[in-house]
A and B are shown apart, each in its own frame.
Chain A
Amino acid sequence: GENVEQHPSTLSVQEGDSAVIKCTYSDSASNYFPWYKQELGKRPQLIIDIRSNVGEKKDQRIAVTLNKTAKHFSLHITETQPEDSAVYFCAASGSARQLTFGSGTQLTVLP
């Protein structure tokens, strides 16, 4: 089955700096890669997703890149703000047609 690895597990950045979270996947048939943000006590919220026919997607301060050859994808957050502090999960949907989540990254933006 699919296996998704996510790094780092914790990340602290100064407000205004950029943050990058990286994920790798194992199933070459995976073709959908969403990113979820989960604030403490809240639901996972879909913030951006990318499909395998696209290499990069951007939405304001958030961007996701996908390298199918290397089987890795990354989340980039620019001009970080304290409200970006949360746990971020990557996920991949492959031949099993279900989402496999990464282990999560606790992002802390320091004011």
Chain B
Amino acid sequence: DTEVTQTPKHLVMGMTNKKSLKCEQHMGHRAMYWYKQKAKKPPELMFVYSYEKLSINESVPSRFSPECPNSSLLNLHLHALQPEDSALYLCASSQDSVANQPQHFGDGTRLSIL
């Protein structure tokens, strides 16, 4: 059973659409992450939230906008995406953002941009 829940599982959107990905964890973790994963590649870090504050933005284009409404929820707002943004988007959480903390991943949202 996954302890990090992501919705939706699949999303198809046009380049002019606005949509949001959602992630929820109830493990009391205070760090949450967004990763992008292309087929046959490792996850690439996009954003890190620590204690509900954005602590790392890995130079992600502004068409991706993260939001952390509370310690259990993490959203990724999408707008004007490009076909190359099609990928698996993974959310993860850890006890905090200090090194040595295991990160637990959700099942991901498979995003297709038409």
Contacts and interface: CB of A to CB of B under 8 A. Distances in A.
B12 interface: no
Contact of A31 (B2, B43, B99, B106): B99
B42 A104 contact: yes
Interface in B18-54: 40-43, 45, 48
Contacts of A98: 45, 48, 56
B102 interface: yes
B48 A46 contact: no
Main secondary structure of the interface of B (DSSP, over half): loop
A101 B44 CA distance: 8
B102 A44 contact: no
B90 A99 contact: no
Interface string B51-80: 000001000000000000000000000000
Interface string B97-111: 111111111111000
Given A46-B104, A104-B42, A97 B99 contact: yes
Main secondary structure of the interface of A (DSSP, over half): strand
Interface in A85-106: 87, 89, 93-94, 97-99, 101-104, 106
Interface residues of A, number: 23
Contacts of A44: 43, 90, 105
Interface size class of B (residues with CB under 8 A): 20 to 34
B106 A43 contact: yes
Given A34-B102, A51-B100, A98-B48, A103 B42 contact: yes
17 contacts: A31-B100, A32-B100, A43-B2, A43-B107, A43-B108, A46-B102, A46-B104, A87-B40, A89-B42, A93-B99, A93-B100, A98-B56, A99-B45, A101-B43, A102-B42, A104-B41, A106-B40
Interface of A: 31-32, 34, 36, 42-46, 49, 51, 87, 89, 93-94, 97-99, 101-104, 106
